[in-house]
Structures are given as C-alpha cells and as structure tokens.
Structure 1
Amino acid sequence: MATPSFAYTFLFIFLCLVSVKLSTSSENQETFIVFTSKSKKPHLFSTHNDWYSSIIDRLSPLSHHPSQLLYTYDRVAHGFSARLTPSQASELRNIPGVISVLPDQARQLHTTHSPEFLGLTESSGLWPSSDYGDDVIVGVLDSGIWPERPSFSDKGLSPVPSSWKGKCENSADFPDTLCNRKIIGARAFYKGYEAFTGSPINESVEPKSPRDRNGHGTHTASIAAGSIVANASLFGYAQGEARGMAIKARIAVYKICWSLGCYDSDILSAFDQAVKDGVHVISLSVAIPRAYPEDYYRDSTAIGAFGAMEHGVVVSTVAGNTGPGARTATNVAPWILTVGASTIDRTFPADVVLGDGRIFTGMSLYSGEPLGDNKLPLVYGGDANSTYCYSGELIASKVTGKIVFCERGGNLDVDKGFAVREAGGVGMIVDGTAGTGELIYASAHVIPATNVDEMDGNKIKEYINSAPSPTAAIVFRGTVIGTSPSAPRVASFSSRGPNPLQFEILKPDVIAPGVNILAGWSGAIGPSGSVMDQRRVEFNIISGTSMACPHVSGLAALLRKAHPTWSPAAIKSALMTTAYTIDNAGNNLIDQATGNQSNPFIHGAGHVDPNRALDPGLVYDLGVSDYVALLCTIAYNMDELSVFVKDPSTVNCSEQNLGTPGSLNYPAFSLDFLYKNQVKYKRSVKNVGSEKRAVYEVKVNAPLGVQVSVSPTKLVFNETTDMLSYEITFTNAQPARFLNSYGSIAWEDGVHIVKSPIAVL
C-alpha cells in the first residue's frame, strides 16, 4: 500500500493537472527525455517502469493526444522518454523524484591502407599482442549494417563470447540468421524518431530493422572490426587487402539513425541496451549539428557515456565536422574519447592542366573512359546560368562539348556531374568549399571530373575570366601512396578546441585517419549517396570524423583485449600519451585549413600510435569518483549531479572538489592566465610497465612566454608503489603578452616517453 504522504502528493499533483486541462489540450506533443532519482520511487510501485507509467497516466488528461511512454532507461541512466505537450512537460518537473525534463533532439552522422599507415603489423606490436581483439565486443551505434558484405565474414572466428547477453532481432529484411560469429547482435531503435516525425516509418523505403540503407553504419563497423578481405577497392581505387582495426572483435549493431537523423531518446536507449548486452566498447559516430555543446547534464550522449564508463565500457565518439573554426568540438565530456580526423599518405590525384600550361592537382574516383590528352574548352557554370550546376539549369549551348567548372555546395558533387552530362558537357571541375584550405574530397564521379581545393579553384576561375578562350584537360593518375603531400594532416572539417564547456579539459583527445577512407558499404545506395546513382559497390571511399572515430574504437578494443583490467580512462591515457605530432616528412603536423602548423587545440594530444599505446609505461587513471569531483568543482547542484550519480546522498561536494577543473587527472594540460599569472595543477600516474622498479624523469618543453616547473622532477616506482603524484606550476613570464602558445611535458625512463601536451589560451 501507498504511504499517506505519497498518496496525498500524487492526489495533489493530479488535481493540479486537471485544473489546467482546458488551457493545454490544444498543444502539440513533442518527445521529452525525463531523468529521475532512482531512490525516490514511491513504495507503492513495485518497479520503476510502473512508476513511470503511472506518471504518464496522470499527465494524459492534459491533452487530447494520448501520452505515450517510448523508452525506459535503467542502466546508463534512470528515467524514460515520452510524447508530451510542453505544458505536460512543465507539470512533470513538479513531480517529486523528477530531476530534469529535456526535449529530444536530432544528431547527425559525422567514414585498406589505414592499418598499414598506423603501423599495425602481424609480426609484432598491438595486433598479435591483443590476438586481434578476439572476443572483445564493439557496439556500433549508427545507421545499421549490411551484413552480407565480406567484411563481416565470421570465417575462422571462435564461438560467440559466453559473456554476450544480446540478441539479433528478427525482421523481414534482416532475419536473425544473418547474425553470425562476427555480427553477434543487431537491434533497431526508432520510437523516438517516429514520435518526432509523427508517423510510422515507411517500411517500403526504410524498414524498421537493423539493415543499413545509408551506408554510414556499414562503413564505420567495418573500419572498427571488419574481417580481412582480399582485393578490396572502389572501382579499382585503393586496391588491396581491407581489414578493420580489430579483425577478431565482434560487432553488435544498434541502429539509431534514420533518414532524418538520430534522436537522443533512441541513442540513450541504445546506450542502455548495449551496456546490458555486454559490449566492451561503444563507437558512436554522431554529433549534435550545432557547434556549441550542451552542459553535460543536458547532453544525452554525455549522460549515456557516463553510465557506460561506470560499467567499464570505453565510449569513442566524433569531435564533429564543423571545423575549422575554434571552439567547435562537440562530445567534449572528459569521460568520452573524442576523436578528430586526419589524412593518410594515400591520394587519388586527377590533375587539371590549363591551356596556359599550369597544373593543379585535384582528386577523383572517376572510373570510366578518360577525356584524353587534348585540351577542351572550359566554361564557368555561373556563365552558363548555374553556379552550382543544378539539373535543368545549365544552358546547353554554352556547355556542350566543354569542361564545366562548378562551385561546391547546394547539391552533391555527383549530381553536378549528372547535370553537366544532361546539358551536353563532357567533363567537370569542382571547386573547394570556402574556408577549407587544401582539403579535397575524392568523389566517385559519373563523368570525367576532379575536385580541387579552394585556393586552386580560385586560380582556375581567374584563368577562365582572363583567358580569351580558356581550355583544360583532366589527367587521372589512379592511386598514389607517398610523402607528398605530407601526412598525417589535420582535416579542415575536423572540429577543434578550445573546449567550449571547460577550457581546462583539452579536446579533441586525439586524431585518427578520417579522409578518403575505404571501407564496407550498403547495397541499398550508390557510392555517391545520390538517388540518381544506380551503381552498387561492396566498398566505398568517404571522409569525416565519423571515419576517424571507429579507427580509435577498434584500437580501444585491441587495448581492452591486451589489458583487460585497464579502465576506460587508462585506455584513453595510453592512446593520448603515446600519440605523435610529427608527420612523415619529419615536420610538425599541418592543419589543412591554413597550411600552417597545427596545435593541441586542433589535434589534441596528437595522432594515435597503436603499437606505442600497447606499452605506454605510465597511465593517468580516472574513475567515477574523479568525474563526480569534477562535476562538484564546476558547481553542479544536487539535481544536476543526480543525473549521473544514482545515490546523490553519497556525494559531499565540499570534500569532493578539485579546486579547478584543470586538476582532473587528465593526460593533457590546458589553461589561461586571464585572471591570474600562475596556475597549478595536480596529477597522478600509475606504472603499468613490466619493470616495477622504474625511474622516470621529467622533460619540459615550455610554451613560449610561460615558465613551467614540476615537483618532484623524478618519480621512483617499486614493487609496492605503482602510483605517484606530482604538481605542475605554470607562470606567465610575459603578462602583457597575448599567449596562445603550446608545449609539452614528458616523463621518460629510457624506454617509454609519456608525453602530455600543454595548451595556453
């Protein structure tokens, strides 16, 4: 029976709800995510689900639409999502035990040679030491999977791990027999999506199953844990042996993304289910479409990732594709592994040769008959009535038999090619996007065409405007691997820091291959993504931080296998402190957007180095209590803390306070001198090397204008002491100077170099 106090409380709430029925019944419903305090469930309800259902029942009189419970969450968070009117949501905030009520929102998807570029080999290092990730389960939260692709063969794999608790959902176009020892589970989450659109998914176009109709999920899954495939390529480009980062790891598919986006209510439910199912790593290549992230307690990805971390699951996500502006990084919670994108040393050059003899190197994945060596007339699309080369707009008399220069944007590059061909054009050059510098996307064009970068595009346009009879040829050079241009470089689109929420926590954490990456593809869509593209391929080449993220997810799976007792923070630390910042030409990393030297606000700790991460020497470890201390430090109140902490009564923020967010035991340092000329941070490191009696000495590369002192300067470990602490002090030696300078500290024992970047605003 209910206690009198709870009974009267709910009676009072019910009467209040009824009293405002007339003013709210005409409102439209929206989806809201509701976080509750686990400990405040009234005793008259035997389960939390009963409690949530009762709440929804009491809200129903406020609207002529029936309120609908979509999901309940009980593993990575406590609460539910439901269809409610704004007034119902407002009243819901008054119910005891309800912590916060957040509107659902959409997030967007942000894709042979990269293992070799990363230095992974079968003879030594991370691959053989981790047995290629055997039995580690990677949960891929994305657009689903096309299971028939060779990347998902289970040949040679051992039985499904006994720890696995998930399942393969059965549906008409995805029978559970398609799961095997590689794809061990597949589920679809769409209730939030349907609730937002207001109608059921049209299953004749987009079946409610784990099958991937987009291509993105298949691509990311095969990068993280795809099996070995011989002679993989896209139309002969990037030909070679394709393999994922962790070829023996298992894939659990959680389809959260549909044609109009990926909704938080579905994402959070997938997080919850993945942890229940027993995944070890979660790979999430989605981000909010705007540049500025929300506070952690309002960010469903941060909330879900915290709960996953609490259960020992590594969560790897994208930094986002909203670069190159500053403070554009998203998914910046410190318990998340945030990944930016870089280039590799493989390109697909297609040169533009102008009539005046100048040559500009572009990129193309065109596979048909070339134009030949003879130069052809060249025309600007804007002079033929369509700057962006839209279908039906180009004037045929002005483009027939010519190469057309089209501005990027407005429509897909391949759709521009269809438009040029439709108007009689024979070739195409596509300009780079403004602000992206030297970035070039390789597109699978349907006519002889190439993409050039922004600067070269401007020069070609100048030539068209100045030459009396401009001409050009396009020369396709296939697949080229080499040191020109140098690699890796930070992709222009890769989102950057400083961290918009806490500048003291450096983001992104690392960068990884994300430009023009070959991986598996859906059989439902062509390689260009255009509805007009009827070609079907097993592999595709695309770009994005979405492609960088699963590279790191796969590496995390390998490290999880090699070091099963390591925490998610230890795995992140190993990847960060062993990352490199020197390219294959021996110079500091370059930012594609500017052509200038990159810095930690752009590339984080640097580019991942898998084999060095296997044996990092020292790690900066963190657990739930450390992150709770951070939340106390940034002044979260009890309601906000309750979103993360199941029993907030155990938290005493007066004692669990770091003093400054910069004293979180993070493997990087970020600071400014806006209000003071001296900053002190504390750190602790754990010896995870094979030598227990290790001695590490500090080496400081101080940022320009900053004095850096470390105490102590030597760390002496032994059989009984594997954890030691130090304090680092930063002093502004030039108070009148605007700093923005960078450096590093490293702990060295003669074998290991444990390096942390320093970034000063």
Structure 2
Amino acid sequence: METSSFSSMLLFQLLMLLPAFIAASTQPKMSQTYIIHMDHSSKPDHFSDHESWHQHTVNSVSLTCREDKEPFLYSYTHVMHGFSAKLTPCQLTEVEKSPAHVATYKESFGKLFTTHSPDFLGLKRSSGIWPTASYGKDVIIGIIDTGIWPESESFSDKGMSKVPARWKGKCENGTAFIPSLCNKKLIGARSFSKGLQAAGINISTEYDFDSARDFMGHGTHTSSTAAGSYVFGASHFGYAKGSARGIAPSAHVAMYKVLWSSDTFASAATDILAGMDQAISDGVDIMSISLGLAQTPYYEDVIAIASLSAIEKGIVVVCAAGNEGPSTSSIYNGAPWIMTVGAGTIDRSYLATLELGNGLKFEGTSYFPQRVSISNTLLYFGRDDPKKSGCVSLSRTEVMEKVVVCDTTNLTDLYGQMEVVSNAGAYGAIFLTESLFLDPEDYSIPGILLPTRYGNEIMEYAWRNTSIVKSMQFVSTKTGSGPAPEVAYFSSRGPDPISPHILKPDILAPGVDVLAAVRPDVPFMEAGGYDLLTDYALYSGTSMAAPHVAGVAALVKAVHRDWSPAAIRSAIMTTATKGDNKLGTIHDQWNGLTATPLGFGAGHINPNGAMDPGLIYDLDTQDYIQFLCDLGYNETQMGAVIRRSQWGCHNNHTDLNYPSFIAGFNQTTSLSEKQFTRTLTNVGAPGSTYWASLEIPSGMIVSVEPNTIKFASKYQKHKFVLSIKLDKNAPKVNYGYLKWIDDHNHTVSSPIVVTNY
C-alpha cells in the first residue's frame, strides 16, 4: 500500500512537469543582437534610402519566421552600410540568404578605456574623493593661458550646478566670441593684451582672435584637463580612445587669456599681472598657470607677486615648473607660496608593430595617426655611410617608397631625421634610439621607435638586397605599461635657483601624452600629404601637469572649504606616492636611473589620500613675510612683493613651515649639522598619537625631537625639530623620508634632501 501510494505520487509529479518539458523542447533559441553588413549597391530602386531597405529586410524575415517583435535597432551609413538587429536563429538564417548580405558580426561588449589620467590617479565614481567632493561642485578654477574654445564638448554645462552667487566675473565680447557662448561650466572669459600692444608687438590677425578665443589650443587643453565635462569617444586619431573628463568635472571654469600669437608666441608681464588680478577680483578658488617668466628674484617676478596676493585671499595657486629638464636648477615659479608642479609619465603607451621578412617581430612607440598597414615593402639601410645610416642625408633614388632604418644612437635630433626621411620620399621609417623622443605631431610618415638593443639584428637583415618589411601596423594603445610614473625628460629640476633652501618642485603629476580638448578648426599636423584636424589631442609638458594638480586642489577645496592654500598643498604633498606601478622607486625617463625629489618633489599626486591627510603643515601671510625678511630684502624689495608699506620682521631667523626639507652642504663650510623647526596641525581625530619613522640612506644622519606627538584635540598644534648631519663621503644628492604615522592609517610623509656640492 505504501509502495503504491509512492508510485502514484511520482506519476502525478511527472505529469505536472510534462508540459514544461514539451514547451522547452519546442521553443526557439533565444534571440541575439547582430550587426549585418550589407552591399549598399544592392539596394532596390523602389526604396527611397538605405534605412527603409534595411527595415524592410528585417520586417520580411520576421514575417517568414513568424516573429511579431520589432527587432530593428540602427541603420548605418558611415561606419559601414548595414544595420543592427536582435534576431532569432531563424531570422539570421533568412537574412544571410539575401544576395546583398556581406557579413555578420555577433554583438560584443568591451570595457571602458578612459583617457586616462583620472584612472591612473585612482579616481573612482563610487568611492574616494570624487563622490565625497561632488566632483568639485561649486569650485571655480581660473586658468591663465591662451584662451578657450567654448564650443568644445568639454565645456558643456549639462548636469552642472548653477553659477555660485559669489562669482563676479563675466564673459567679454570680442572677435569670434560673444557672451552667450559662456554657460554654467564656462562662467568667465576675458583677455588681456594692452601690455603687449604697448610694447609695439602686433597681435596676428591671421592666426589669433582679439578676444578670449583660443588661437593655439593650449588653454583649451589645460582647461579641459582641470575641469572638463564628460565626453565619450574622444581620441587622438584613434589613440587613447575613451571618455575624456577633467580631474574636477563638476567645477566651473574661467579663462583669462594673456598669451597671444604675434611673430612668436608672446605674453607681457603686465598682461599676466592684469589677468591674475582680474581672476582674484572675480572670485576664483583655484588659479592654474601653465606659463612662466624669467627666473628672477621675487620682487621682479610678477607671477610670484600676484600669487602671494591670491594666497592672501585664500586662492590656491598652481604653476607649471617649466620644460627645461633634465638640467638641474631649471625650475620656474618656485616661490614657496606657489604649488610648483613637475611632469610625469602615465601607464599608457602608443604602439606600432613591425614584422620583418625573416620573421622577426617587434613592438615599438609610434603616434602615426592613420590605420595604415605596410606590407611586403623593401627595406633600406645605408650601412657604409654614417650620414645615410643615421638618416642625416638620404638619396631620394635609393629610398623612394622604401622603409628606411635609421640608427640614431649617436644623434640628438630625431625630429630632423624624420624630416630627412619624409622629404626623401620614403614610405616609412624605423628609428633605433634609446633616449630620444618624437612628439605626436612629428610623425609625418609611418614611423616606429625601437630600442637600440634590437639594432644589430635589424640592421644586419636590412643590409641584404632582398630584405623587406612584411608588416607594419599602427594605432594601438596599451594601458598598464610601465614603470610609471617616471619624471618626464623635459620636466624642470631643482634645486630652485632663487631659493635653493626650499625644495622644488612640490609634486609630480601626469604631464606626458595627456589627451584633452584642443582648437578643432586648424590642422594639428600633416601626415601623408594631408592636413589633419582633431577635437582632442595628446600634449606633453608641465603645462599639462599643472591643471591636474589644480583639479585635485579643487576637489580638496570642495571637501575642506575652510582650509588655507598652504593646508591644501600640505595635504597633497604629504600623501603623495613614492613608487611606480611596478612596485619600484620613481625613475627618470631621460636616463632610466632612479630619480630624486629634485625631479619629483614630495612624490606623485594621490588625490584620494589628500582628502584625509591626518596632519598638515600650515602657513599664513605673516609666515611668508618673515621668509622674505630672512632673504635680506630691503624695504623697496619687500614692498614690491607684499604690496604694503608696513610689516613686521622677527630678528631671529625662523624656518618656513614647509612640508619638505632640503639642506645644502658644501666643502667650503665647516657646518656639519642643520636643524629645521616645523609645526604640525592635527586635522584628524582628537586623541591621535603619531610616531616619527625615518627612512634614511647611508651618508645621512637624521634625528627628530620629539619622536612621538599626541594631539588631544582637532586643530591642535605641536612643534618638532629635525636635525641633519652629513657624512663626508655622501653622494652629491641624497634623500630619505620623515613619516609621521598614527594608528588610524595616516602616514604623513615629507622628503628630506641633502645636496653636497
């Protein structure tokens, strides 16, 4: 009886499941999305356009396969002739029976490749400083530069907050610029040229605009780097393709044009001063300056003078360090109230691939802006003549329509070699080089840069009469490359020539191959005999690094509205990273050797860390006045810098409360020890205790007193003294770190640099 009941129950369950089994066996497979490439010449004449033909094709197969759903998605007329649709296997089969069918591409999904420095800096939508700072909402960044291209998508105000009520600026009317071009993103645009014109330098009416409109793209690039809105699908001729956006994409931008096109690019100090003055008056929060004047004492440096005035108003001033590296003491904008920025590389490379006729394959650097594929092309190498082998001089009859191998090992003008090869009519070039660089706009013909370690095997093969390039392919971007960051070869180095006892630069930030908006209506470059235009381009320079830091300063300002400029700089410096993405120390791009803080300052900028530094080294105007007093400036010189008739100086020398240390020793002095007094302010939790940790190499003896500090309350201050002794056999430049560490995951790090010349 029990057995019979069990069998009846099992039969009942099977009968209940049977309809589901039957349905599952008879239901067609799930539909999928496909891209269907069609022969556009096969369109019947009775269709008015290709889209109507594509839609009819899909509707017809739907009827044949008895499908009621509307699967049609898009019709394509430019990327290809065809359409996309979500099709069942039956529908796909019917489409592919059509004589007009060319190819089928199954739908694929790719991950987002950004443009790319925000990712390299660790900025994320869901965590860290971006969401905490609301992406820089309500912060105003003033850019002192060459103007702006207001129509760029990077300055769209979609999703922007309203203009802050405190804003006093405006958009001026001028040549090809009307006030209505401004919006909630671009809230101010002014130009300053009276000083230039008074000096008898005429502004070029052929290339420039008598307005805030950008004549060369530089100001547009820096502005969009600092605070550009999201732009999808931006790229440099296919390189670095992804979503472009600024470091503080919700911040507002104001442009102050002070650099103009004349016989050369020119900017008068009076105009720079006027632009900075107006920016202060208008109410900017951050000032980003990617230009510099001659290295002069502060009382002759209008950027330093105007910057101190801005600092007094609570404005953070960020300046490019200059592009005169790798020479030492080449720093510009090194006043201690300015945040001075060096340029570093990022973990993204632009590549071409090369395969020779003997099967050897190589991957090298290239920015050639076209997806050409060179195949089965003769190879040329002038081995017996140094001028030919180095591509200093080439015979057109010998290299015409060939790929030329250029051994540039002992040469210093790679751009010149590219010009020689191009003018000789070569089809492409292979440059064997170790430390030379070409800018993206220099690739007038297909060219690839390869390390000299590949030289022997390439040159030996190229010398044969039958040698060929089997394949050269371009427009490839790789992220995650490294080591990165490295100090860019061109980035100016310390010690600062005006104040060598202040470590400069302060910080390293992305400044190599930064993709951002540019002027779109003039050729960026010439390649293959064609002028090429672009909306976005790769630029390099400390000009590109400075707006990265300006953007980070805007984010920190948005989180900590009451912090002083010195506090924001301290937070950025003391939380900087000291290593690269390969877990090594930061190196120098120029020679591949380990870099020093004379190139990278406190380290590479770390936006998320700067949001919560734990401790800060703060400063106010009186501290800077005392600093100038200690330089021995007379009353006239002091008055020129601080713009007042009365001030107070202490008789005793006092250290500037800077977040870094540099001590200079030399063989002509008997001084063997230097001391620095600093004051820490707690911006973390009350009751925090910090312990001093010293990371010091041989050749330096460093001590800290006290080495433990307890802060009973927030904003409490404590002093400490750091002492440095030098070993006679120490290297010319040596460095270590002082780190204040608590039990709340704060590490407050300062570089200690010793020079021994």
Range of TM-score over shorter length: 0.7 to 0.9
1:749–1:420: structure 2 CA closer, same or farther, 3 Å change rule?
same
The farther-off stretch of 261-270 and 403-412 is 403-412
Of residues 256, 262, 267, the one that matches 2:272 is 267
What is the DSSP-based 3-state SS (H/G/I as helix, E as strand, rest coil) of the residue aligned with 1:372? Answer: strand
Quick one: which amino acid aligns to residue 327 of structure 1? S
Alignment match, 1:712: 706
The AA in structure 2 aligned to 1:425 is: A
Aligned to 1:164: 167
Amino acid at match of 1:516: D
Which residue of structure 1 lines up, in the alignment, with residue 322 of structure 2?
Answer: 320
Report if the CA contact (8 A) 1:442-1:451 is conserved. Answer: no
Higher Cα Rg: structure 1 or 2? Answer: 2
Report what 1:517 is aligned to. 514
Hey, what's the Cα distance between the residues in 2 that align with 1:247 and 1:254?
Answer: 19
**In structure 2, how many angstroms separate the alpha carbons of the residues matched to 1:581 and 1:459?**
37
The TM-score normalised by the length of structure 1 is 0.77
Matches within 5 A, 1:651-690: 651-654=648-651, 657-658=653-654, 663-674=655-666, 675=669, 676-689=671-684
Conserved? CA contact 1:318–1:548, under 8 Å:
yes
SS state at 1:654 partner: coil
Contact 2:376 2:471 in 1 (8 A): no
Question: What is the rounded CA distance, in whole Å, between the counterparts of 2:462 and 2:268 in structure 1?
Answer: 47
Structure-2 change in CA distance of 1:595 and 1:468 (3 Å): farther
5 Å-filtered alignment, 1:438-517, equals 441-443=439-441, 445-452=443-450, 455=452, 472=469, 475-476=472-473, 478-517=475-514
Report what 2:397 is aligned to: 397
Residue 114 of structure 2 is aligned to residue 119 of structure 1 = no
Q: Which residue of 2 aligns with 1:14?
A: none
SS of the counterpart of 1:680?
A: strand
What corresponds to 1:256 in structure 2?
258
Contact 1:229-1:241 at 8 Å conserved across structures: yes
1:533 CA drift (Å): 5.9
Q: 1:571 aligns with which of 552, 568, 575?
A: 568
**CA contact under 8 A between 1:686 and 1:722: conserved in structure 2?**
yes
Change (3 A) 1:681 1:746: same
User: 2:558 maps to what in 1?
Assistant: 561
CA distance in structure 1 between the aligned counterparts of 2:472 and 2:629, rounded to whole angstroms: 60
For the 8 Å contact 1:245–1:554, the answer to whether it is kept is: yes
Displacement of 1:404 after TM fit? 3.6
CA distance in 2, matches of 1:386, 1:251: 51
Q: How does 1:332-731 map to 2 (within 5 A)?
A: 332-352=334-354, 361-374=363-376, 376-379=378-381, 395-404=395-404, 416=418, 420=421, 423-429=424-430, 437=435, 441-443=439-441, 445-452=443-450, 455=452, 472=469, 475-476=472-473, 478-528=475-525, 534-654=531-651, 657-658=653-654, 663-674=655-666, 675=669, 676-689=671-684, 691-719=685-713, 722-731=716-725
Do the aligned partners of 1:283 and 1:316 also contact (CA within 8 Å) in 2? yes
Look up the SS of the partner of 1:115 in the other structure: helix
1:155-304 pair list within 5 angstroms: 155-196=158-199, 198-259=200-261, 260-288=265-293, 293-304=295-306
1:306 corresponds in structure 2 to: 308
Cα distance in 2 between the residues matched to 1:541 and 1:328 = 24
CA separation of 1:401 and 1:465: change in aligned 2, threshold 3 A: closer
CA distance in 2, matches of 1:311, 1:386: 61
Q: Secondary structure at the match of 2:532?
A: coil
In 1, the alpha carbon distance for the partners of 2:187 and 2:215 equals 20
CA contact (8 A) 1:515 1:542 kept: yes
CA distance in 1, matches of 2:138, 2:368: 39
Does the aligned pair in 2 maintain the 1:364–1:444 contact within 8 Å? no
| Mapped partners of 2:274, 2:490: distance in 1 | 29
CA RMSD for the aligned pairs? Answer: 3.0
How big is each residue's C-alpha offset from its partner over 1:541-586, in whole Å with a ceiling of 9 and x where there is no partner?
Answer: 1211111111111111111111111111111111100001111111
CA distance in 1, matches of 2:608, 2:476: 27
Instruction: Please tell me whether the aligned partners of residues 322 and 495 of structure 1 are also in contact (alpha carbons under 8 angstroms).
Output: yes
**Structure 1 vs Structure 2: percent identity of aligned residues?**
40
* Alpha-carbon separation, structure 1, partners of 2:243 and 2:403: 35
What are the superposed Cα offsets for residues 574-626 of structure 1, whole Å, 9 maximum, x if unpaired?
11000011111111111111111111111110000000000000010111111
Q: Distance in 1 between the 2:171 and 2:383 partners?
A: 50
Give CA-to-partner distance per residue, 1:231-250, whole Å, 9 cap, x none: 11122211111110010111
Q: Which amino acid aligns with 1:700?
A: L
| Cα distance in 2 for residues equivalent to 1:211 and 1:721 | 45
> Aligned partners of 1:382 and 1:337: how far apart in 2?
53
- What is the match of residue 756 of structure 1? 750
* 1:42 corresponds to: none
Query: Any conservation in 2 of the 1:320–1:545 contact (CA below 8 Å)?
Result: yes
CA contact (8 A) 1:384 1:398 kept: no
| Residues 397, 360 of structure 1: alpha-carbon distance in 2 compared, 3 angstrom cutoff | same
**Deviates further, 722-731 or 421-430:** 421-430
Does structure 1 retain, via aligned residues, the 8 Å contact 2:176–2:213?
yes
* CA-CA distance at 1:298 after TM superposition: 1.4
1:23-62 matches, within 5 Å, as none
Residue 157 of structure 1 aligns with an amino acid whose one-letter code is: M
Question: What is the total number of aligned residue pairs between the two structures?
Answer: 631
Q: Deviations over 1:642-683 (max 9, x none)?
A: 01223343223525x32xxxx211101110232311110000
CA contact (8 A) 2:683 2:715 kept: no
Please give the secondary structure, in 2, of the residue aligned with 1:253: strand
Q: 1:364: how far off? A: 2.0
Q: CA deviation at 1:485?
A: 2.7
CA distance in 1, matches of 2:529, 2:138: 41
Query: Is the 8 Å Cα contact of residues 439 and 593 (structure 1) preserved in structure 2?
Result: no
Amino acid at match of 1:693: G
Aligned match of 1:48: none
Aligned 8 A contact 1:439 1:492 in 2: no
Cα distance change, pair 464–187 in 1 and its aligned pair in 2 (3 A): farther
**Offset at 1:443?**
4.3
How many angstroms apart in 2 are the aligned matches of 1:386 and 1:752? 59
Q: Tell me which amino acid in the other structure corresponds to 1:145.
A: I
Aligned partners of 1:213 and 1:524 also within 8 Å: no
